[in-house]
Amino acid sequence: MSLSEHLEGFPITLRWPVAWGDMDAFQHVNNVVYFRWFESARIAYFEACGWNERMRTSGVGPILAHTACAFRAPLTFPDHVLLGARAEGLESDRFTMRYRVVSEALGRVAAEGEGRVVSYDYRAAAKAPIPEDVRRAILDLEGRGGGQ
Amino acid sequence: MSLSEHLEGFPITLRWPVAWGDMDAFQHVNNVVYFRWFESARIAYFEACGWNERMRTSGVGPILAHTACAFRAPLTFPDHVLLGARAEGLESDRFTMRYRVVSEALGRVAAEGEGRVVSYDYRAAAKAPIPEDVRRAILDLEGRGGGQ
Amino acid sequence: MSLSEHLEGFPITLRWPVAWGDMDAFQHVNNVVYFRWFESARIAYFEACGWNERMRTSGVGPILAHTACAFRAPLTFPDHVLLGARAEGLESDRFTMRYRVVSEALGRVAAEGEGRVVSYDYRAAAKAPIPEDVRRAILDLEGRGGGQ
Amino acid sequence: MSLSEHLEGFPITLRWPVAWGDMDAFQHVNNVVYFRWFESARIAYFEACGWNERMRTSGVGPILAHTACAFRAPLTFPDHVLLGARAEGLESDRFTMRYRVVSEALGRVAAEGEGRVVSYDYRAAAKAPIPEDVRRAILDLEGRGGGQ
What are the extents of the domains in chain D?
11-141
Give the C-alpha distances (Å, rounded to integers) separating B3 from B6, B17, B28.
6, 15, 21
Cβ-defined contact of D25 to B30 (cutoff 8 Å):
no
CA dist., res. A55 & res. C16, Å (int): 36
Q: Taken in order B21, B25, B29, B34, is the CA torsion positive or negative? A: negative
Q: Do C67 and D32 touch (CB under 8 A)?
A: no
Shortest distance, CA A145 to any CA of chain B (angstroms): 31
Q: Which residues of B touch A30 (CB under 8 A)?
A: 39
pLDDT band at A4, cuts 50/70/90? confident
- In degrees, rounded to 5, the angle at the alpha carbon of residue A39 between the alpha carbons of residues A37 and A43 is 120
Condensed to tens digits (0 to 9), the pLDDT of residues C83-127 reads 999 999 999 999 999 999 999 999 999 999 999 999 999 889 899
Whole-number average pLDDT of chain C: 94
Q: Cα–Cα distance between D56 and C23 in angstroms, integer?
A: 19
Is D39's CB within 8 Å of A47's CB? Answer: no
**Predicted local confidence at residue D147, as pLDDT:** 42
Q: What is the tens place of the pLDDT at every residue in A98-143? A: 999 999 999 999 999 999 999 999 889 899 999 999 999 999 999 9
pLDDT tens sequence across A118-128: 999 988 989 99
pTM of the model: 0.96
Predicted confidence (pLDDT) per residue in A69-82, tens digit: 999 999 999 999 99
Q: Which residues from A are below 8 Å from D when comparing CB atoms?
A: 14, 16-17, 19-21, 36, 39-40, 43, 47, 77-78
- A148 vs B55, residue with greater confidence: B55
A64: which chain B residues are within 8 Å (Cβ-Cβ)? 31, 71
- Which CATH superfamily groups domain D11-141? Hotdog Thioesterase (3.10.129.10)
pLDDT value at D148 more than 50: no
Any bridge partners for residue A100, and if so which? A84, A112
Contacts of C39 in chain B (CB under 8 A): 19-21
Q: Which partners does chain B have (≥3 C-beta pairs < 8 Å)?
A: A, C, D
What are the average pLDDT values for consecutive 10-residue runs of chain B, which has 148 residues? 90 98 96 98 97 91 97 97 98 98 98 97 92 96 68
Check CB contact under 8 Å for C21 and A30: yes
Residue of B nearest to D30 (CA): B21
For residue B49, the Cα-to-chain-centroid distance in whole angstroms is 12
Nearest residue in D to C66, CA atom: D70
How much is the average pLDDT of C2-27? 95
10 Å Cβ neighbour count for C2?
8
- pLDDT at C132 (0 to 100): 95
The string of pLDDT tens digits covering residues D27-37 is 999 999 999 99
pLDDT tens by residue, D53-71: 999 898 999 999 999 999 9
CATH fold label, B3-141: Thiol Ester Dehydrase; Chain A (3.10.129)
Closest Cα in chain A to D18:
A40
Q: What is the pLDDT of residue D23?
A: 98
In angstroms, rounded to a whole number, what is the distance separating the alpha carbons of residues B102 and B82? 5
pLDDT > 90: what percent of chain D? 86
Which residue of chain C comes nearest to A30, CA vs CA? C21
CA angle B5, B10, B12 (to 5 degrees): 115
d(CA A19, CA C66): 24
Average pLDDT over residues D130-144: 94
CA distance B145 to chain A (A): 31
DSSP states of chain D:
--GGGGGTT-SEEEEEEPPGGGB-TTSSB-HHHHHHHHHHHHHHHHHHTTHHHHHHHHSEEEEEEEEEEEE-S---SS-EEEEEEEEES--SSEEEEEEEEEETTTTEEEEEEEEEEEEEETTTTEE-PPPHHHHHHHHHHTT--S--
Q: What are the pLDDT digits (tens) for A19-67? A: 999 999 999 999 999 999 999 999 999 999 999 999 989 899 999 999 9
C142 has a pLDDT exceeding 90? yes
Q: What is the pLDDT of residue B147?
A: 43
Contact C31 D64 (CB under 8 A): yes
Residue of A nearest to C27 (CA): A25
Name the interface residues of B facing A (CB cutoff 8 Å).
Answer: 30-33, 35-36, 39, 63-71
Indicate if the pLDDT at residue A147 is higher than 50: no
* Residue pairs spanning A and C at CB distance below 8 A: 22
Note the pLDDT of residue D145.
57
